[in-house]
């Protein structure tokens, strides 16, 4: 789905996270589950201040919510959303 940029000095302060480094993949998956999203279908990897999410989501909305949940935590400046959507929404068209 793409690379999304975030401000890494703001967001939810999760255990072990700081402005210098994001939380661990396990803690980020717990945050996904806490928001009522399916964390068992996705894999989370952290490299520096970039988080990569892979796996499957039922809808485009669900995939976007997972990416936003992870990106809105302290220490994360980019989220590479590589989630495969089973039922993608129609592409938005401008004019």
Please tell me the predicted confidence (pLDDT) of residue 92: 79
Average pLDDT, stretch 40-49?
Answer: 96
Q: What are phi and psi of 86, to 5 degrees?
A: -70, -40
* Strand ranges across the sheet with 42-47: 2-5, 78-87, 50-59, 42-47
Per-residue confidence band for 93, with pLDDT thresholds at 50, 70 and 90: confident
Predicted pLDDT of residue 31 = 96
The answer to whether residue 84 scores a pLDDT higher than 90 is: yes
Mean pLDDT of 66-94: 92
Among 7-11, 29-33, 79-83, the range scoring the smallest mean pLDDT is 7-11
């Amino acid at each position: 789905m793409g690379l999304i940029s975030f401000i890494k000095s703001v967001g939810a302060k999760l255990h072990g996270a700081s402005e210098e480094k994001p939380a661990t993949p396990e803690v980020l998956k717990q945050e996904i589950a806490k928001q009522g999203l399916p964390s068992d279908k996705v894999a989370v990897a952290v490299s520096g201040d970039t988080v990569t999410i892979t796996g499957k989501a039922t809808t485009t909305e669900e995939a976007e919510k997972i990416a936003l949940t992870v990106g809105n935590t302290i220490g994360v400046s980019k989220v590479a959303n590589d989630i495969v959507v089973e039922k993608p929404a129609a592409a938005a068209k401008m004019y």
